[in-house]
Amino acid sequence: MRAAKFLAGLLAATIVHVLGVRMVQDFSSAIDVFLVVALFNARGGSPFAGLLGGLVTGWCADVMTGGLYGAYGFCNTLVGYGAAVAVQRLVIEKAGGVFLLFSLGAAVQQLLLLSLSRLLRPGAPAPELTGLMVMFTTVGLTGALGFLLRARLVRWRAAWRRNQSATLR
Amino acid sequence: MTEKRIRWLLVGVLVGQLMLLSAQVRSEDRNYSVLEASMLRLVAPLVRAVDGSAAAVSSLRGRFETRKALREDNEKLRGELEAMRRDRVETFGLEQKLELLSKAASYAQSSGSPPRVADVVLLDYGSWQQTLMLYVGDQGVERQQPVVTDAGLVGRVVVAAGRYAKVQMITDRSASVGAMIERTRRQGIVRGGERSFLGMDFVPLQEVVKVGDRVLTAGIDGVYPRGIPVGTVVSVRPGGELFHRISLVPAVDLGRLDQVFLLQAERVPPDLQTIDDASR
C-alpha cells in the first residue's frame, strides 16, 4: 500500500512537472515536485523508505534535467534519509514544523546539488538566490499544505465512521 | 532492516552514485550510462503522453475560440483570393527563376542525407540546468547528431534511448561549438554563457569584430556541419590577454521550440580518428 501510494505520488509529480514546465517557464526553478514526493515519503516512513524514495525520485528528476545523471539521485537519497531520521527523532505535529522540515530539505538538496556540480564541473552555472528562496518557500508551503489537507481528511474520515456506527446502532 | 545496515546501504548507494557521476565527468564527451538511457526509456513515454494530452486540450480550446474568427476571415479571404489570382499571373516569371535557384542550392548542399523532424516533448529552458527531450520516432537516433531549427543551431544529442533523446543545448555551460564569424571567416569556439547568452573564445584582438556580426558553425569540431547559424554578436570587449570577449545571442529562440530537425553527425574519418585517439 505504501509503495503504491509512493508510485502514485511519483506519477503525479511527473505529470505536474511536465505540465508546469509547459505552462510556466521558470517552473522547475520555483519548485521541485520530486523532492516534495521524497519528503512526504520520508515523513511517513522508516529511514530505509526515505533512502529508497529519495533515490527513485532523484533518478526521475535526473531524467527531467540536463545536468549530470545521478546528481539529483545522490542529493535526494541523502535528503530522504536525513528527513526520515529527523522525523523519527523529533515530534513534528504542526504545520509550521512541516514547513520547516520541507524548506530545510530543499535548502540541503540545493546546497548539495550546487556543491556537487561545482566539484565535478568547475564553472558550472549556479541558480539565482531569489529563485532558491522561492523554491525553499514553495516546497515548504506545499509540505505544510499537504500536511493540513491530510489532517483534515483523517478528521473527516473519523467523523464519517462515527456517524456510520451511530446510524447502525 | 537494522539501523546499522541501513547506514551501510546509504553509504553504498551514495558511493555508487558518485562513481556514476565521476564516470560521466571523466569523459570530455559526456558519456551516458545504461541506467540513464533506461530511465529515459521508462519516463519519456509518460512525459510524451502528458505533453500530447496537454497539447490536445489546448488545441481543442483553441478550436472553439477560433471558429468564430475563422468565419469572418473566410469572407475576407474570398475577396483577397480574387486579387491574388490576378497577382499569380505576374509572379509566374519569378517562379521559374526560383526553381533554377533551388536546383543550384540543392547541388551546393554538402550533407548527403535529408534532415529528420523530431518532436520536442520536454523543454525546460528556464531552469539553471536546461533540458530538452525529443521524440524521434521509430528510426531512432544516434549520439552527437546535430539538432537544428530553420533559424539555426540548437545543440547535439547526448543521450539516445530508442525513440527518445536528450539534447545538450548550445547554451549549456559544458557545450562548445567550432564556429566562425560570417563576415571575416575567423574561427573560434562558442561556449554556453550566462543565462541565455553565448560566449565566443579565441578570436584575437587584431580581428575587427562588430556588434551584429553573424556567427556560423565552422565544421571543424567533428559534430556540426559547416554554415549553420549559431548566433549574432551583441557585445565585444577586450579580453585579459590576446583575445576578444565576445557575447552572442543565439540564432534560435531556445525557449520556444516545438519541432526540431536532426542532421547527420559530421563524422571524423576513421584514419583521422586513430590519429586523434593516439594524440590523446
Task: Answer whether B2 touches A (CB < 8 Å).
Answer: no
Give A-chain residues touching B132 at CB under 8 angstroms: 66
pLDDT band at B62; cut points 50, 70, 90: confident
Does the structure show a pLDDT above 70 at B275?
Answer: no
Q: To the nearest whole angstrom, how far is the Cα of A65 from the nearest Cα of chain B?
A: 5
pLDDT greater than 80 at residue B96: no
- According to the model, what pLDDT value does residue A143 have? 93
Say whether residue B118 is in contact with chain A using an 8 A CB cutoff. Answer: no
Angle (deg, nearest 10), helices A95-120 and A129-168: 140
Q: What is the pLDDT of residue B274?
A: 59
**How many angstroms separate the CA atoms of A54 and B6, rounded?**
14
Collect all residues of chain B within an 8 Å Cβ-Cβ radius of residue A27: 124, 126
Closest of B161, B146, B155, B164 to residue B265, by C-alpha: B146
CA angle centred on B147, ends B146 and B151, rounded to 5°: 120
pLDDT band at B276 (very low <50, low <70, confident <90, very high): low
Q: pLDDT confidence of B113, banded at 50, 70, 90?
A: low
pLDDT of B29 higher than 60? no
Confidence label for B247 from pLDDT (cuts 50, 70 and 90): very high
Pick from B124, B156, B256 the residue to mutate for testing the A interface (most A CBs within 10 Å). B124
Q: How large a percentage of chain B has pLDDT more than 90?
A: 20
Collect all residues of chain B within an 8 Å Cβ-Cβ radius of residue A22.
Answer: 51, 54
Query: What cell does B144 get?
Result: 552527437
* Nearest-by-CA chain A residue for B24: A68
Return the residue matching grid coordinates 544516434: B142
Name which residue leads in pLDDT, A52 or A2: A52
Residues B194, A132, A64, A112: is their CA dihedral positive or negative? positive
pLDDT over 90, % of chain A: 54
| Mean per-residue pLDDT, B164-168 | 91
Q: What was the pLDDT predicted at B105?
A: 58
* Percentage, residues of chain B above pLDDT 70: 84
| pLDDT score, position B174 | 82
Least confident segment among B54-68, B147-161, B251-265: B54-68
CA torsion sign, B204 to B206 to B212 to B213?
negative
DSSP structural state of residue B228: -
Give the Å distances, CA to CA, from A5 to A9, A14, A38. Answer: 6, 14, 12
CA A78, A81, A84, A88 torsion: positive or negative? Answer: negative
Tell me the mean pLDDT in the region B188-211: 87
Q: Which residues of A touch B130 (CB under 8 A)?
A: 66
8 Å CB contact of A70 and B24: yes
pLDDT beyond 50 at A159: yes
Evaluate if residue B112 carries a pLDDT over 60: no
Rounded average pLDDT over B65-75: 83
pLDDT of B23: 76
Q: At what angle do helices A47-64 and B34-108 cross, to 10 degrees?
A: 0
Residues 135-194 of B with CB under 8 A from A: 159, 166, 168-169, 172-174
A62/B255 Cβ within 8 A: no
pLDDT at B82: 81
For residue A155, CA distances in Å to A36, A96, A148, A151, B102 come to 23, 19, 11, 6, 73
Q: Is the pLDDT of residue A50 over 70?
A: yes
Q: What is the distance between the alpha carbons of residues B201 and B191, in angstroms, rounded to a whole number?
A: 8
Domains of chain A: residue spans and CATH = 2-168 (1.10.1760)
Q: Which helix (H) or strand (E) holds A76?
A: helix A71-89
Q: For residue B248, what are the contacts with CB-CB under 8 A and spacing of at least 6?
A: B190, B197, B198, B199, B200, B215, B230, B231, B232, B233, B234
User: B195: Cβ–Cβ under 8 A, 6 or more apart, which residues?
Assistant: B171
Q: Among A68-77, B86-95, B113-122, whose mean pLDDT is lowest?
A: B86-95
pLDDT at B108: 44
Mean pLDDT of B124-139: 83
- Helix, strand, coil % over all residues of chain A, rounded to 5: 85, 0, 15
Rounded mean pLDDT, B47-59: 83
Residue B68 CA, distance from chain mean position: 37
Q: Has residue B248 got a pLDDT over 90? A: yes
**Closest listed residue to residue B171, CA positions, set B158, B187, B190, B186:** B190
Higher pLDDT among residues B92 and A140, named by residue: A140
Question: What are A109-153's pLDDT values in tens digits?
Answer: 999 988 888 888 777 777 788 888 999 999 999 999 999 998 899
* Band of pLDDT at residue B178, cut at 50, 70 and 90: very high
Spatial distance between the Cα atoms of B248 and B238, rounded to a whole number of angstroms = 15
pLDDT of residue B107: 41
User: What does the alpha-carbon distance between residue A150 and residue B36 come to, in Å, rounded to a whole number?
Assistant: 34
Question: How many CA atoms does the CB half-sphere of B35 hold within 13 Å?
Answer: 17
**For residue B109, is pLDDT > 70?**
no
| A62 interfacial to chain B (CB closer than 8 Å) | yes
